[in-house]
Amino acid sequence: MARAVSTRTRFAWTALAWTIAFLMFFPILWTVLTSFKTEAEAIASPPSVVAFDWTLENYGVVQERSDYMRYLWNSIIIAGGSTLLGIAVAIPAAWAMAFVPGRFTRDILMWMLSTKMLPAVGVLYPIYLICIELGVLDNRAALVVILMLINLPIIVWMLYTYFKEIPGEILEAARMDGANLRSEILYVLTPMAIPGIASTILLNFILAWNEAFWTLNLTSVDAAPLTAFIASYSSPEGLFFAKLSAASTMAIAPILILGWFSQKQLVRGLTFGAVK
């Protein structure tokens, strides 16, 4: 029987949730507002929220100074490529851990997750030297592989969790009907885990899109994504806050739009298997 909740309690929790959501969204809102200010208004004290002279000048300057579409295309290729490659590697791995459990499955999963605790700068130097030796520094394909390996533990963990919610008897029935391993994964397991796979793809695409450490250190011109596009507006002469905000808004706009239209699928996938 559901527990009754008073109107006052429901209102308090709703107000708290909206307050937390606003505090989380406020930096993005402030960045967008600052992008429409002049440089003088951007550093004015006290700052004005909406009572300022709105201008599109910063966006015009950013477009003239930088090739935004090249940075955008690089981000799409790097984030999309690393995510799809990670999914292709992680689905068989998660299947094996979920349906062919071994003695050390949990230990392997914990070891994989522990690699995310290593500071990225700790492996920057060897990876940088490897890229130089292989001639793939400032190369999109190299970044696709590197970001895939960085996010692979999260992809495997998420898919493993979703796959564990699927009854193993269904796969056994498919084997009895003559399905081989490839057919079992492609035509039985994958369609049943579509919500979980979709949420994994979305989350890891966002992680790869926002990755700054590796993209800033392993690219210069040819493979530079939107993170490098934003960083280019930090100069030794100082920060141009209005132009930096315009560049940041242009960089986050595609991922915000993607997140907005896919939020239902993302929530559905993250809660996959939570209710029996």
Query: Between vectors from CA 33 to CA 202 and to CA 247, what angle results, nearest 5°?
Result: 60
Q: Using 50, 70 and 90 to split pLDDT, how confident is the model at 181?
A: confident
Residue 83 lies in a domain: yes
**Alpha-carbon distance 244 to 150, whole Å?**
28
pLDDT in tens, 231-269: 887 765 456 888 889 999 999 898 888 878 777 766 665
- What pLDDT sits at residue 261? 79
* Domain-located, residue 174: yes
Domain, as residue range, for 163: 67-232
* Cα distance between residue 145 and residue 78, in whole Å: 9
Does some domain include residue 268? no
Mapped to the 3 state alphabet, what secondary structure does 36-70 carry? CCCHHHHCCCCCCCCCCCCCCHHHHHHHHHCCHHH
Q: Please count the structural domains in the chain.
A: 1
The per-residue pLDDT of the chain, averaged, comes to 85
Flag whether 155 is in a domain: yes
The verdict on residue 149 lying in a domain is yes
Residue 255 lies in a domain: no
Portion of the chain with pLDDT greater than 90, in percent: 29
Report the CATH number that the domain containing residue 197 is assigned in CATH.
1.10.3720.10
Q: For residue 273, tell me if it sits in a domain.
A: no
Global pTM value = 0.84
**Does residue 146 lie within any of the structural domains?**
yes
Q: Which helix (H) or strand (E) holds 238?
A: strand 238-239
